[in-house]
Structure 1
Amino acid sequence: MAGRIRNEDVQTVKERASIEEVVREHVTLRGGGVGTLKGLCPFHDERTPSFTVRPAVGYFHCFGCGEGGDVLDFVQKIDHLTFTESVERLAGQLGLTLRYEEGGGADGGGPQAPAGQRMRLMEAHRVAEEFYHDQLLSSGEGRAARAFLREKGFTGEHARQFMVGYAPRGGSVLSEHLRGKGFTDEELVLGGLSARSSRGLYDRFRGRVVWPIRSIAGDTVGFGARRLYDDDRVAAKYLNTSETPIYRKTSVLYGLDLAKRAIATERRAVVVEGYTDVMAAHLSGVGTAVATCGTAFGGDHISMLRRILRDEAGRAPARVIFTFDGDAAGQKAAMKAFEHDERWAAQSFVAVAAEGQDPNDLWLRGGPEAVRALVDGATPMFEFAVRTTLAPYDLGLASERVQAMRAVAPILAGVKDPTLRPEYVRDVAGWMGVDPTALTVEVTRAAAAPARSGGSRTAAPPVAAEHGVPGADLSDPVQVAERHLLQVALQYPLAIYPADMDELPAAELRAPVHQAVWHAVKEAGGVYAAEGASVAGWTRAVLARTPPAVQGLVHELAVAPLPTRLDPETGTPTEAYVDSLVLRVRLAASEQRIAQTISRLQRLTPGTPEARRVDEELMALQREHAKLKDRMN
């Protein structure tokens, strides 16, 4: 199993990938000053450009929403990829071969192929996707598949939009096609496109409608296939790609490559049950719809969606809506989803049509409005779970009401916000027609009882909250000077610094967040250590020594424009400007020390040895302060 990408390869990707070129694929950039480009932020709606890129530094920052980082951070955020996925994507574009450390899984777990092999397998799937799609649209044998899609309400244009295909019934038609494109038998078997028998290679999918399953980055990594013919030797109605080095069914969602932008923008995800349901939802204007691929919705899917939804404690809650059929299987699936409800910070809902139709059926019979109404009218997951649990009981009978209370008590005991529990208890008691006090007793008992094997859901670990360092007060002129001094230190390693700048203790800065950055600068060797280094390399050195909670500020400071003209010959701030920043910070620290010393002196008895010592200390501080003021003048 491949492990972590080697650090030197990550650095090579960062150095060779042009942040300007990568950002320009998503943002129209214009000049924003010396060495600076600006545009409208792709991460939030704005009318005035506040998104800034400094190519020489290799960083971006939005002064509107606060997003920032290097080229890998941009790719991660814009395409909702993991760190490893973003490195692999850029490496592929640059033609670089990545090396992996032995042991330790890469993001996502499961078997991992070497980067070169992964590229070959994904290319084989891309060619297979085009082959299947061409078979659907133009082959005589594809008529059965076209008829199936028409019955579902889809046209040829819809099939092209989602690249739906048809797998011919012949035993090795795709395999022969891929061999002709230069792919080896080993690659086809490893990728799950073909299988071996005593007679040789044969296609995994035969005589079926096929949907390409793509990674979040948009690369085709597998297929889902539906049976068309009654004499199909494989009894399963739906057949999916088996586990391969590039495909894990628990880590992919059909349609996510199309839906990720809308999910991130709306902070809403709609989870449906099938491929045609995703198509119908998207064609109805519900562009946030996704579906699992032959497996139940589980933990890996939650992690993936939470990353895109920015599902974090402290934010306004996102929404996750599950649509299920109205039959017993649909109810069972809904209750299975409810078991994972504690893993979300998001609000979760269930949407079940009145007559139990799935989104594809609704689209066929009621049009796009019916699908949108289904999603908009979703019921909170908690309420759905309670009503589903109560459904088997005759609440007109006292004995069954008692049993029903005991059945719903674990659900109420598991409500993630304990302050809401009394309200929920009152609501549920009203639905049941029981005394809230009696139900509270059962809930208390359920909360105290140990979890039973196979019983009610168990709570997941709490959602982690980032505790950042207190921010700077930019209404304070001294803290503004501190900020500008840090900008100079990060952006201009060839500037002429005053001799005492490197000696400035971090404790002399007022803002704790500025102290943390200045401490990282000193840990990286101080401002003079930057001489001869590239701006990007120097910023990386500082970032490596910066606490995670403060790294966002370093990204911001590395691109923020300075409110001063640069020296036209050197392209750096003037020596006088830098000196004025250092003096302003040092004077403020000096004044604070003098005030503290005067306060100490006032608490001492005049004439005592301690008072004389502190008095001498005060005079020394005042002499130092006078020298600093002379420099300022």
Structure 2
Amino acid sequence: MAGRIRDEDIALVRERTAIDDVISETVTLRSAGGGNLKGLCPFHDEKSPSFNVSPARNVWYCFGCGAGGDAIKFLMDAEHLSFVESVERLAARSGIQLRYVENEPGSGPARPRAPHGQKQRLVAAHAAAVEFYRGQLTTAGARPAREFLAQRGFDRAAAERYGCGFAPDAWDLLTKHLRQQGFTHDELVTAGLSRPSRSGSLIDRFRRRLLWPIRDLAGDVIGFGARRLFDDDDGPKYLNTPETPIYKKSHVLYGVDQAKREIAKQGRVVVVEGYTDVMACHLAGVSTAVATCGTSFGGDHIGVLRRLLLDTDDVAGEIIFTFDGDAAGQKAALRAFEDDQRFVGRTFIAVSPDGMDPCDLRLAKGDLAVRDLVARREPLVDFALRHVTDRYDLDTVDGRVEAMRRAAPLVAMIKDREKREGYGRRLAEELLGMEIDTVQRAVRAAAGDSRAAPAPPADRRPPAVAVVDSPQSRIEREALKLALQYPALAGPMFDAVEAGDYRHPVHAAVRAAVADAGGTSSAAAGAVWIEKVRDACTDLGAQALVGELAVEPLRLDGEPDPRYVAIQLAGLQRGSVNGRIQELKSKLQRINPVNNKDEYFALFGELLSLEQHARALNEQAAGG
């Protein structure tokens, strides 16, 4: 039985991992002040970014859904990896050789071990398949594949850049190759690289086809797209990897691994229809192009792009669809208009006057024509309205009325009220030649019908911590933030204030967890310390609060110093001391000093001592 990873190695992975580098492969991050970064949460839908990352402490937390943790936890949640798989992935990034300890006592010293886990194995199988298929592209039997690429303007360098390959005219050549490399029957079937034949033996899924490797955001190959080359091939024109544990076609965008940085930088993405269109756009200088893989553009794709674009109420990304000029392309554009309302950003469509896709356009007119196609984009709303109204004879009353009835619901779909009014006027004046009030009434009626749409899902944030907005609660949070974010600075001063001085029960639980984790005096800042405190929490509310406080900014401009720590802790104790003073005064009023002389004077002495302590705390809290 394989052993666990040594704790020292896990701690080293946490310390050496730059969490912002890991997360930025999935989420576009922008500065949020105080050294923190902010983006759209990949774990729930949101319009305003509430996903916070603290590079200084290597932790993240979403104030919208309550998820949080370190880089290991992010990979577990975002890529559905196990804990071990996540640690191994990050260790490989940082060049760390992991050591494993056998579960049985006396089994010998820790030893290095190769990575394991289903996802790792499936990714490794695809990496081996890529190299196999690339090698096959240079063989004599792959001549039709090379000619196909050349006829579309792609030379050998372009084929190598995109990892193009060829599935040979053999039933099980890849399968045998991968089996020799140690991959099992079940792994190859699960990966979608092989499939059982009618006789029961294992054969290759792809045969006699040109292949494009499909990569995820991190750049790992997770599937293939295969193009038919021979007339006697009775399969579909394009054949894709089936759904697997690592390949979900509704989430995958071809070319996103190469385009993601430019998408984030430019705030723009160009959505094309095929693999060759992506290649043509990139080579022509449109470096933000991506394509869906064997499925129509949908809601999950929108989620991926919104996070890369940081498409929010405040920052509008630009989405440009390029569809063929034929009927199918126009239908796809109108379908995209319906999805457009899920984007906060601006959405456009670019259709070549000749009806050519980007690949054909580049081949016929050159790189500049592809760039011009994108530059001459028009708002998708305009395209949709024109497409609808052009179907009617607008020289007749009947035609104008029918066009209005069909176009009004499109205008009503626009969420922005001011834009809706503006497009209503444009529909009336420029497209239909009708009275504005008549058209606006039709739009408002259609908008009224649309209000019956289902309500959005409820906030996923767990009801872990009841937020109490009081001076005492705020100062307790500040003290805990100092302990989590700046443990070396908080040090003995923080450790001297016990959990009993925290009035909020969950705050007290976090303070107790800090003590159980060894106290701030011996802690090193960063994800290792924060995870140690989180693990020491005895309830879910405290665990959630640790993640939140680890990235929440201090109530201070600039870096804290020992004086700031002293002021906060003095203010925290002052609240506890004042509460105890009130309790003593109330109790003294209820005691008869004649009958209970000893108890009375004992409480009175404690009261005097506490009042003296309170005066000292007041001076300290005031910065004196």
Question: Do both share a fold (TM > 0.5)?
Answer: yes
| Partners of 2:213 and 2:221 within 8 A in 1 | yes
Contact 2:167 2:207 in 1 (8 A): yes
Question: Deviations for 1:445-475, whole angstroms, at most 9, x for unmatched residues?
Answer: 32344799xxxxx678389799x999x9xxx
Task: Trace 1:125-204 onto structure 2 (pairs within 5 A).
Answer: 125-136=126-137, 138-199=138-199, 200-204=201-205
Per the TM alignment, residue 53 of structure 1 is displaced from its structure 2 partner at its CA by: 7.7
Alignment-derived partner of residue 351 in structure 1: 350
Q: Deviations over 1:540-560 (max 9, x none)?
A: 6579646979955522569x9
Of 509, 518, 521, the residue aligned with 1:531 is 518
Shift of 1:220: 1.5
Distance 2:289 2:439 in 1: 37
> Equivalent residue of 2:141, what SS?
coil
Are residues 375 and 620 of structure 1, via their aligned partners in 2, closer, same or farther at CA, if it must alter by over 3 Å? farther
Q: Which moved more, 1:144-153 or 1:367-376?
A: 367-376
The structural deviation recorded for 1:622 is 8.4
TM-score by length of 1: 0.70
Aligned length: 531
1:504-519 pair list within 5 angstroms? 504-505=501-502
Pick closer, same or farther for the CA change 1:189–1:96 going to 2, 3 Å. farther
Equivalent in the alignment of 2:507? 520
Identity of aligned residues (%): 39
Equivalence for 1:613: none
How much does 1:211 deviate?
Answer: 0.4
Task: Specify the SS of the correspondent of 1:82.
Answer: helix
The whole-number CA distance in structure 1 between the counterparts of 2:353 and 2:256 is 27
Asked if the contact 2:225/2:238 (under 8 Å) is kept, the reply is yes
Deviating more after overlay: 147-156 vs 411-420: 411-420
Q: Partner of 2:227 in structure 1? A: 226
Distance 2:354 2:566 in 1: 75
Q: Is the Cα–Cα contact under 8 Å of residues 494 and 531 in structure 1 kept in the other structure?
A: no
Q: Which runs of 5+ in 2 are unaligned?
A: 38-52, 62-67, 92-97, 101-114, 524-528, 579-607
Spell out the pairing of 1:379-528 with structure 2 (5 A cutoff).
Answer: 379-430=378-429, 431-449=431-449, 461=456, 483=478, 486-488=481-483, 491-492=487-488, 495-497=492-494, 502=499, 504-505=501-502, 520=507, 522-525=509-512, 528=515
Contact 1:348–1:381, Cα closer than 8 Å, also in 2: yes
Contact 1:425 1:436 in 2 (8 A): yes
Pair 1:555 & 2:556 matched = no
Aligned to 1:269: 269
How do 1:326-341 and structure 2 match up within 5 A? Answer: 326-341=325-340
> Superposed, which structure 2 residues align to 1:578-593 within 5 Å?
578-583=565-570
Look up the SS of the partner of 2:166 in the other structure: strand
Distance 1:407 1:489, change over 3 A: closer
What is the CA deviation profile of residues 561-597 of structure 1, one whole-angstrom value per residue up to 9, with x for unaligned ones? 9544xxxxxxxx6xx8854543366679999xxxxxx
Query: Would you say the 8 A contact 1:590–1:621 is kept in 2?
Result: yes
SS of the residue 1:18 aligns to: helix
**DSSP 3-state at the match of 2:234:** coil
Q: Distance in 2 between matches of 1:549 and 1:522?
A: 10
Alignment of 1:207-286 (within 5 A): 207-234=208-235, 236-286=236-286
Relative to 1, partners in 2 of residues 1:623 and 1:20: Cα closer, same or farther, differing over 3 Å?
Answer: closer
**Do the aligned partners of residues 481 and 204 (structure 1) sit closer, same or farther apart at CA in structure 2, a change above 3 Å counting?**
closer
Paired amino acid for 1:231: D
The one-letter code matched in structure 2 to 1:377 is R
Distance 2:307 2:5 in 1: 22
Q: Is the 8 A contact 2:516 2:536 kept in 1?
A: no
Structure 1 unaligned blocks of 5 or more: 1-8, 28-40, 62-67, 98-113, 453-457, 508-517, 565-572, 592-618
* Cα distance in 1 for residues equivalent to 2:319 and 2:543: 33
Higher RCO structure (Cα 8 Å, ≥6 apart): 2
Compute the displacement of 1:189 (Å). 2.8
Does structure 2 conserve the Cα–Cα contact (< 8 Å) formed by 1:469 and 1:550? no
Aligned to 2:122: 121
Deviation string for 1:196-230 (max 9, x for gaps)?
Answer: 33453332212111001122232222111111111
Alpha-carbon distance change, 194 to 538 in structure 1, aligned in 2, over 3 angstroms: closer
Q: What's the offset of the Cα at 1:89?
A: 5.4
Question: Per the alignment, in what secondary structure is the counterpart of residue 142 of structure 1?
Answer: helix
Residue-by-residue CA offset, 1:90-138 (whole Å, 9 max, x unaligned):
23335799xxxxxxxxxxxxxxxx97233222222211111111111x2
The question of whether the paired residues in 1 share the 8 Å contact of 2:514 and 2:533 is answered with no
Shift of 1:414: 1.6
**1:291 CA displacement:** 0.8
Match of 2:362 in 1: 363
Range that drifts further, 85-94 or 347-356: 85-94
CA, structure 1 residues 42+12, in 2 after alignment: closer, same or farther (shift >3 Å)? farther
Aligned AA for 1:284? A
TM-score, length basis structure 2: 0.71
Compute the RMSD of aligned alpha carbons.
4.8
Deviation track 1:65-88 (CA, whole Å, cap 9, x = no partner) reads xxx963247769xxxx82635957
1:18 aligns with 2:13: yes
Q: Does the residue aligned with 1:122 lie in a helix, a strand or coil?
A: helix
Displacement, 1:358?
0.8
Deviation at 1:327, TM superposition (A): 0.6
Shift of 1:444: 3.0
- Cα 1:497–1:554, aligned 2, differ >3 Å: closer, same or farther? closer
Q: Which one of 88, 91, 95 corresponds to residue 92 of structure 1?
A: 88
